[in-house]
Amino acid sequence: MTRHLITSAIPYINGIKHLGNLVGSQLPADLFARYQRGRGNEVMFICATDEHGTPAELAAQKAGKPVAEYCADMHAVQADIAARFGLSFDHFGRSSSDRNRALTQHFAARLAENGWIAEVEERQVYSIDDGRFLPDRYIEGTCPNCGYDKARGDQCENCTKQLDPTDLIDPRSAVSGSTNLEIRTTRHLYLRQSALKGQIADWIDSKADWPILTTSIARKWLNDGEGLKDRGITRDLDWGVPVPGMPGKVFYVWFDAPIEYIAGTAEWADAQGLDDAAWRRWWRLDEGAGDVTYTQFMGKDNVPFHTLSFPATIIGSGEPWKLVDYIKSFNYLTYDGGQFSTSQGRGVFMDQALSILPADYWRWWLLSHAPEGSDAEFTWDNFQASVNKDLADVLGNFVSRITKFCRAKFGETIPEGGAWGEAEHALIDALAARLRAYEALMEAREVRKAAAELRAMWVLGNEYLQSAAPWSSFKTDPAQAAMQVRLGLNLIRLYAVLSAPFIPFAADAMLAAMRTGDRAWPDALDGALTALPPGHAFDVPEVLFAKISDEDRDIWAQRFSGIRD
């Protein structure tokens, strides 16, 4: 048994996330966590809401609530939606927790003690109309590098270039749109990342197995232009982790947010009534974390902070904290030729998705089309085709045909009689080859390719059933038909176990129909395909996956198009 620490990039508290956010971090992280649990490994899967900074303040102001109340309410909303999507977090925490406050202040103190913190007097943008300093993210303008007209003051989302607010052309307040800005002097703490560049570069160079997307972004930020820059870790705000000895300052959200991965594990231990040793064994190399494999999942816009800034915090602390072993990053999911947009009502958001179809429909499409090698596009035609062909016609059809046929000819118990022949052994050999490929791809976090192998195993069952044709052999050799049906019913249990990481709710329904809780991973297919013996009772399940009609497809396409009357 191995131990896997898995974290998903933590979503901002302000609002419900769209499908692109989901497939860029939380959903593939859940896939990997469920797979590792299915293999019998020990897993700690942590996520949280990112609750500090101006986004939370502005969202709370818009909602007419105190920011703490707003964050508590939205955490509950996001936790509920995550549960309904089947996201199997061991703990879904909050970056505003007492644990995160203490750990953030601890890391800052250690960095200061080791000489990696500098107090810097800087000139910062102040919005006269808003009456406040503007955090970098809340200054917008035109990127001097690529010309994108909605670049933020910290980074251009279009070209990913790291920016300072003063770099922007025609800057404006993202709070009010005001251009009545001026530069004022303030003092902030900076993490001296440039002094840690050598250690960070050596660490990144040691990760030869990382995705090209991850390492290319990391090296671009590490070496582009002037190279790795020192980074401000404090802001002039009221809401956040207070900076000891600096009234009116809080730690920058990108400094405290990743620390919540550690704090969230501590919150898990607290919730379980366990002592600190229970969570420190996941994070401290001197307390048992040496055998942990740590994987992070995130969209490509989060890569710079997870490959540079957070590692700088860990390395600079001088303490034996666990560094990430593998960063799985994703490109963007676009929506029908454009971007998801909350303001324009364009695209499907997580709560809306669940209001029209069960979670597994969305899980399957998103994971089987995950934006790994390049950006991916959601279209309603593609979604309909994938659901109807993969889920309804292949998996759902197999389950329905074999269970209904057995009930009609043998009753609702698994029949006995007959022995495997050449066709059955050929099926097992083909399944075994696909299964080993599936396992290798899941271990490698190759999401789309793993989905393709899983579907191929479903197809093998359908091809066998069509070729064996127990409805024909029943007429001349009932024992032969009984064997074929028995194998088919055992395939349902096997498919449930293998499919659970992708479609957990359907997998549960399949196991319930087979009246078994046996989720043992199939190390040997001979045993897996005889797990349900003759005489074992089963039920004919309800339709696993209903097809999406052209009418529904067109209605939904119009509803989420962003077109206004």
User: Binding-site residues for ATP, please?
Assistant: 342
With a CB cutoff of 8 Å and minimum separation 6, the contacts of 213 are 300, 303, 329, 330, 331, 372
Residues 207, 210, 214, 216, CA torsion sign = positive
349 and 319 Cβ atoms separated by less than 8 Å = no
For 114-211, where are the alpha helices, taking DSSP H only?
Answer: 197-205
Question: Cα 332 to chain center, whole Å?
Answer: 13
Question: What gap in Å lies between CA 370 and CA 213, rounded to an integer?
Answer: 14
- Residues placed in the known binding site for Zn(2+): 143, 146, 156, 159
CB atoms within 10 A of CB 75: 19
CB atoms within 10 A of CB 106: 14
Question: What gap in Å lies between CA 389 and CA 428, rounded to an integer?
Answer: 24
Question: What gap in Å lies between CA 414 and CA 492, rounded to an integer?
Answer: 12
- Residues placed in the known binding site: 143, 146, 156, 159, 342
Q: What are phi and psi of 173, to 5 degrees?
A: -75, 130
Q: Given phi > 0 = left and psi -120 to 50 = alpha, else beta, which region is 549?
A: beta
Q: Which two tokens stand for residue 548?
A: 């999406």
Q: What are phi and psi of 186, to 5 degrees?
A: -150, 170
Q: What are phi and psi of 551, to 5 degrees?
A: -65, -45
- The residue behind tokens 């118990």 is 413
- The residue behind tokens 């990108």 is 254
Q: What are phi and psi of 391, to 5 degrees?
A: -80, -45
Secondary structure (3-state) at 39: coil
With a CB cutoff of 8 Å and minimum separation 6, the contacts of 90 are 43, 44, 45, 46, 268
126 and 133 Cβ atoms separated by less than 8 Å = yes
Q: What is the Cα gyration radius of the chain?
A: 26
DSSP H or E run through 163: none
168 and 159 Cβ atoms separated by less than 8 Å = no
5 and 295 Cβ atoms separated by less than 8 Å = yes
Question: What gap in Å lies between CA 77 and CA 88, rounded to an integer?
Answer: 16
Secondary structure (3-state) at 61: helix
Secondary structure (3-state) at 36: helix
Question: What gap in Å lies between CA 416 and CA 535, rounded to an integer?
Answer: 7
Question: What gap in Å lies between CA 133 and CA 232, rounded to an integer?
Answer: 14
